[in-house]
Amino acid sequence: MSGFKFSVGPWNVHEGADAFGPDIRPAIAFADKLATFRKIGFDAVQFHDDDAVPEINGLREPEIIARARDVRKMLDDNGLAAEFVAPRLWMDKRTADGGYTSNCPEDRAYAMWRSFRSIDIANELGCDKIVLWLAREGTLCAESKDTVVSIRRLVDAVNKMLAYDPKIKILIEPKPNEPIDRSFCGTMGHVMAVSAMTDDPSRVGGLLESAHAILAGLDPANEMAFALAMGKLWGVHLNDQNGMKYDQDKTFGAENLRQAFNQIRVLKDHGYGSGGEYIGLDVKAMRTQPVEISYRHLENSLNVVRLLEEKVDRFDRDIQKKLIEARDYEALEMVVLQLLLKG
């Protein structure tokens, strides 16, 4: 039994295409995904704007709202909530140079249009969180953008979203690179700094994805702790990653169990979830996985979280305290390794 509530995105069950090869599994209908999500233990769904309203660019605002309302009914029918809506600002030609920080004013206006529509959709789905994964907000050519101007543009875009809806919260999901080379918002420290620059820092927080922290050469649990210390960790994307290469979105704990243990430890120790926050997963099935068993990575990740919650409960805090007092960190490390190695 977990003390957490869990969420997942429809993109986490996918057709297996990667940068070097096409789809390899048939698509699973959105309605079927919802039913299976509920069955395997999820409480909520994460959305991109066009996960909820496909072909959004070709629709007018009332139609977008009507379609989002239909999705709300599907969620209700399955006993699921919506966690957040994220504008997908990386698939359209108009975001080739970024959205909020594009050099072209028309592109920036398009990015705002998608952001406002995401807020409209969130309102229909009954959630108050907008996630900004700033996919192309950075540079491919270092000299192509003025970074100072770009950071101000980013803050300006967030301010416009805050003004559009006085109840909406913005969660920035940092990532240091991919698909962009030099990201403007690569770590949780950047996110907290951007938050502080906005018109209402109390409504701008962070979502930490494990793999993104590892790609930045940082420890995911430490990154989570940084935002927790500021009361601003409002979402997580648990997954795993084998070193600093392409974004892998592996099953949580599959590469580094101790790092995974410490993420659950920091979340549990600091009451993550008590404000309604979800343990979100952002994991992808391997390309080799047959469609009939293409939810396995989600089930495995949920199981790893639950097993690590037990390990955190069994972590002997008295011994931890004594070894800290004795400054015997070698022994403390072994206590953790034994905890993880023994059944």
Residues in contact with ligand XUL by the rule CB under 6 A: 48, 86, 131, 133, 173, 175, 209, 237, 247, 282
In angstroms, the CA 76 to CA 94 distance is 34
Closest CB to ligand XUL among residues 253, 280:
280
255 interacts with, out of Mn ion, ligand XUL, none, CB within 5 to 8 A per kind: none
Closest CB to Mn ion among residues 244, 319:
244
Stretch that binds Mn ion, among 20-28, 61-69, 278-286, 299-307 (CB under 5 A): 278-286
250 binds Mn ion (CB under 5 A): no
Q: Provide CB contacts within 8 A for 85, sequence distance 6+.
A: 47, 48, 49, 52, 118, 119, 121, 122, 125, 127, 129, 130, 131
Closest CB to ligand XUL among residues 246, 329:
246
Closest CB to Mn ion among residues 108, 297:
297
33 interacts with, out of ligand XUL, Mn ion, none, CB within 5 to 8 A per kind: none
Question: Would you put residue 184 in left (φ > 0), alpha (ψ -120 to 50) or beta?
Answer: alpha
Closest CB to ligand XUL among residues 30, 315:
30
Q: Provide CB contacts within 8 A for 23, sequence distance 6+.
A: 15, 16, 17
Q: Would the CA dihedral through 100, 44, 227, 200 be positive or negative?
A: positive
175 interacts with, out of Mn ion, ligand XUL, none, CB within 5 to 8 A per kind: ligand XUL
* Long-range contacts, stretch 27-30, CB < 8 angstroms, 24+ apart: 28/291, 28/294, 30/74
Closest CB to ligand XUL among residues 86, 323:
86
Stretch that binds Mn ion, among 1-9, 100-108, 194-202, 204-212 (CB under 5 A): 204-212
Site for Mn ion (CB under 5 A): which residue of 203, 237, 265, 284? 237
Site for Mn ion (CB under 5 A): which residue of 209, 223, 240, 309? 209
Q: What are the residue ranges of helices labelled H in the chain?
A: 30-40, 49-52, 61-77, 105-125, 147-164, 188-197, 210-215, 220-229, 257-269, 296-314, 317-325, 329-341
**Shortest gap between Cβ of 325 and ligand XUL (angstroms)?**
40
**Shortest gap between Cβ of 184 and Mn ion (angstroms)?**
17
**Shortest gap between Cβ of 185 and ligand XUL (angstroms)?**
13
Residue found by looking up tokens 């952002």 in the block: 282
Closest CB to Mn ion among residues 45, 64:
45
Stretch that binds Mn ion, among 235-243, 261-269, 297-305, 322-330 (CB under 5 A): 235-243
**Shortest gap between Cβ of 305 and Mn ion (angstroms)?**
16
In angstroms, the CA 244 to CA 211 distance is 9
Distance of CA 254 to the CA centre of its chain: 18
In angstroms, the CA 131 to CA 176 distance is 16
In angstroms, the CA 129 to CA 207 distance is 11
Which residue's C-beta sits nearest to ligand XUL? 133
Structure tokens at 64: 């977008």
Closest CB to Mn ion among residues 47, 107:
47
Task: Give residues in contact with Mn ion (CB under 5 A).
Answer: 209, 237, 282
